[in-house]
Amino acid sequence: MKIKTLITMANQIGDFFKSFPDQVQAKKDIAQHLERFWASSMRDQILAYVNEQNGEGLEPIVRDAIKEHITSNHKN
C-alpha cells in the first residue's frame, strides 16, 4: 500500500484519539487500533517509515504511538 495512504489512515485514527484527556492512554489506544485492524504488512510498512523517515507527515501523537507501541512481526 502507498505510504501516503497509510499516513492519511493513521492520522484519521489519531484525530479520533487525540482529544482524549489521557494522552498516554490515547497513544496505547491508537496502537491497539492498528494492531487489531491493520494487516501486519501495513503495520510493518508504517513502522519502517517512522524509523527511516521519522514519520514525516504523521501527527505527533500517531508517530509517538507507533514508536512506543508497535513492533515489527519480524521481531516477535
Dihedral angle at the C-alpha atoms of 51, 62, 26, 68, nearest 10 degrees?
0
* Domain assignments of the chain as residue spans, ordered by start: 3-75
DSSP, collapsed to helix, strand or coil, labels residue 68 as helix
Per-residue pLDDT reduced to its tens digit, 10-20 = 999 999 999 99
Per-residue pLDDT reduced to its tens digit, 23-74 = 999 999 999 999 999 999 999 999 999 999 999 999 999 999 999 999 876 4
This prediction's pTM: 0.90
